[in-house]
Amino acid sequence: MGSELLSSPPTQKDVGRGNNSAHSSIEDFFNSVLPYYVSVGMTIDDFWNGDPENARVFRKADEIKRERKNQEMWMTGLYIYRAIGSLSPILRTNLSKKPQSAEPYLSEPLPISKKEIERREKRDEKIRYETNIANLKVWADSINEKRGGTDAG
């Protein structure tokens, strides 16, 4: 459903001339698009008696829903792709001499909003910083232990 929504019904001139076929064509046109508008939530009363602008709003809302659904299906595909990718070491076991184990699956959902992406980047940066500090402390302790052990011996 799309091309008939954009096609234009007979002009006002055709209707003004008393052309019954034009009236029939207009009625046929509106009757042909009515099921679409009902399917996107518009009531029959709103379709026939409501503000014509509402039809545009319902059509735009349907377009947004379709885009959102498409994005959801794409994300589902991405999750499936990642899941299969996590299992790929196991799937290659026959080609390898050593048994392989699966990689861990994602520990959390993929971020999809800018706010969530920024929050995770800050969190990951903090984790990297804390890990580096911990590694530095381990390294410094090992140096101090060697010095202390060398000085004492």
Q: In whole angstroms, what is the distance from residue 84 CA to residue 106 CA?
A: 12
Reported as a single tens digit per residue, the pLDDT across 127-148 is 999 999 999 999 999 999 888 7
What pLDDT is recorded for position 14?
46
Q: Which tokens go with 76?
A: 């589902």
Residue 36: pLDDT above 80?
A: yes
Q: Does position 125 have pLDDT exceeding 80, yes or no?
A: yes
pLDDT of res. 68? 94
The pTM for the full model equals 0.53
Domain ranges of the chain: 3-109, 111-153
Long-range Cβ pairs for the range 47-50 (8 Å, 24+): none
Give residue 73's identity as a one-letter amino acid code. Answer: M
Q: What is the mean pLDDT of residues 59-65?
A: 95
Cβ pair 29, 9 in contact under 8 A: yes
What is the overall mean pLDDT for the chain?
82
